Amino acid sequence: MLSLASFTSRRILCIRHYCKKTPTKLRVSEAISGSNLGANIKIQGWVRSVRPQKKNLFLHVNDGSSLQSLQIIATFCCSQIRLLTFGCAVEVTGLLKQSPNQKQPVELEADKIRVVGECNPLDFPFKIKERHAVEYIRQFPHLRCRTNAFSSLLRIRSEATAAIHSYFKKNGFVQIHTPIITSNDCEGAGELFAVQPQRPENDVDEKFFSVPAFLTVSGQLHLEVMSGAFSKVYTFGPTFRAENSQSRRHLAEFYMVEAELSFTQSIEDLTEVMEDIFKSSTEYVLAQCAEDVALFHKHVSPGHRVSSKGMTYSEAVDILNRSSQNFVFPTEWGCDLQKEHEKYLVKHCGNIPVFVTDYPYDLKPFYARDNQDHPEHTAAAVDLLVPGVGELCGGSLREERLDLLRTRLEEVGLEDAYSWYLDLRRFGSIPHGGFGLGFERYLQCILGVDNIKDVIPFPRFSHSCLL
């Protein structure tokens, strides 16, 4: 009769034998790292190249985990060889070995290749060994993630998202999920998308929320509510602008990073956070995605790593007026700065990030703090201008003085609509300020991408393909 100890021992041996035979499933990036040399592994991905020879079949397979693909060598006659085409999905098992080719650290000697999903390379819009223009790739929003450039972009975007969240967590900010559907329009932030339920034609057209509702253009006002209970808050989510523009600068749906700091009366407190988050996030992305960034740039502009420069709006206008360049838009004091002005100012300062502060009071929304200076009359507002993009961040100290805020709201006819905003100043009001950073513009800046539609997975713009 088999004893319990003997049974247990045999069972353990069987389990070990089974584990030894079972291939270890790895991502391509893990296989390429070389930490599993000599192991029997399984990888799953998509074929990026096929090169048949007399005795061997060479494949390069990628699963999106890295820019590099893993070379597969098949030394047998694969029954599915006619299905092994550029773009097809495969599952490969075999022995991971050191490669004799110095350009690649490892290769996988396959003992089994299974075609999971076929792909006709004649119909596939992306061709093997061809470098497609971004304008061409943009025509296929449902397939462009299969290209090297766009898969690199998405990995960078993922790491940049993680870097931003990490920065806020390390610095004591509380994340707030602000509403996507809201009744406030965050005056001055952009044109709005109205939200209403779809009803049969004979139904009474009543507002779902009893008041007009819109897709959010900013989470700022909701963060201001939270700044009455938390000293540091932020949000990172989608925002919407109903601007019917086809330019390379505009999107209907994009992502914003917004932060609010309590107990601050200094614009420098805001610029310090803006500068820190820009630098720390960029350094993280460059460290984690060196190969992917190199696909966009042979080297990164020096402006991404040096200290920023500051100037007032008045100084900026003076620089523009002394310039020999002919601007399309006027540069008189009181005019809003356009992109052509922003780019010139950045170039004038040596292509480094530039802070512009103290804008004319009338250019800014009701919540911007009045500097009460005369005769210029400016607001405690700041924009961060960066190379290649122009405005990246915009923010201000908020008007915490109840009498001044009430007067401002009365002037613009919003006292009733924003009575709740006045309540924030009545009950435990504190001096505070905040800013918003356009996430897609940030990616444009660090990668040198010209069109904002090429740094977001699914761009929403007028007449675009809605998946």
Statement: residue 188 has pLDDT above 70: no
- Residue 383: closest CA among 366, 399, 363, 400: 363
Residues 80-111: tens digit of each pLDDT: 678 899 999 999 999 999 988 878 889 999 99
pLDDT band at residue 48 under the 50/70/90 scheme: very high
Q: What is the mean pLDDT of the segment spanning 133-162?
A: 92
Mean pLDDT, all residues of the chain: 87
Statement: residue 385 has pLDDT above 60: yes
Pick 208 or 69 by higher pLDDT.
69
Statement: residue 8 has pLDDT above 70: no
Domain ranges across the chain:
24-117, 145-199+207-454
Token pair of 221 as six digits:
């006002």
Q: What is the CATH code for 145-199+207-454?
A: 3.30.930.10
pLDDT band at residue 205 under the 50/70/90 scheme: low
Residues 276-330: tens digit of each pLDDT: 999 999 999 999 999 999 888 753 333 344 456 788 999 999 999 999 899 999 9
Q: What is the 3-state secondary structure (H, E, C) of the chain?
A: CCCHHHHHHHHHHHHHHHHHHCCEECCHHHHHCCCCCCCEEEEEEEEEEEEECCCCEEEEEECCCCCCCEEEEECCCCCCHHHCCCCCEEEEEEEEEECCCCCCCEEEEEEEEEEEECCCCCCCCCCCCCCCCHHHHCCCCCCHHHCHHHHHHHHHHHHHHHHHHHHHHHCCCEECCCCCEECCCCCCCCCCCEECCCCCCCCCCCCCCCCCEEECCCCHHHHHHHCCCCCEEEEEEEEECCCCCCCCCCCCEEEEEEEEEECCCCHHHHHHHHHHHHHHHHHHHHHHCHHHHHHHCCCCCHHHCCCCEEEEHHHHHHHHHHCCCCCCCCCCCCCCCCHHHHHHHHHHCCCCCEEEEEEEHHHCCCCECECCCCCCCEEEEEEEEECCCEEEEEEEEECCCHHHHHHHHHHCCCCCCCHHHHHHHHCCCCCEEEEEEEHHHHHHHHHCCCCHHHCCCCCECCCCCCC
Statement: residue 9 has pLDDT above 90: no
pLDDT at 187: 60
Inter-CA distances, 161 with 166, 317, 433, 440, Å: 9, 35, 23, 11
Statement: residue 392 has pLDDT above 90: yes
Instruction: Please state, in angstroms and rounded to a whole number, the distance separating the CA atoms of residues 64 and 155.
Output: 8
| Count of Cβ atoms closer than 10 Å to residue 303 Cβ | 18
pLDDT at 280: 94
Pick 359 or 131 by higher pLDDT.
359
Q: What is the mean pLDDT of the segment spanning 144-173?
A: 95
pLDDT at 13: 40
Is the peptide bond preceding residue 375 cis, with omega within 30 degrees of 0? yes
Burial pattern 95-133, b for ≥16 Cβ within 10 A else e, equals bbeeeeeeeeebbbebeebebeeebeeeebebeeeeebe
Q: What is the mean pLDDT of the segment spanning 200-221?
A: 81
Domains 24-117 and 145-199+207-454 share a fold: no
Residues 245-269: tens digit of each pLDDT: 777 778 989 999 999 999 998 999 9
Statement: residue 338 has pLDDT above 80: yes
Q: What is the mean pLDDT of the segment spanning 396-400?
A: 96
Which CATH architecture fits 24-117?
Answer: Beta Barrel (2.40)
pLDDT at 204: 63
Statement: residue 12 has pLDDT above 60: no
pLDDT at 89: 97
**Percent of the chain at pLDDT exceeding 90:** 63
Pick 55 or 364 by higher pLDDT.
364
Pick 18 or 35 by higher pLDDT.
35
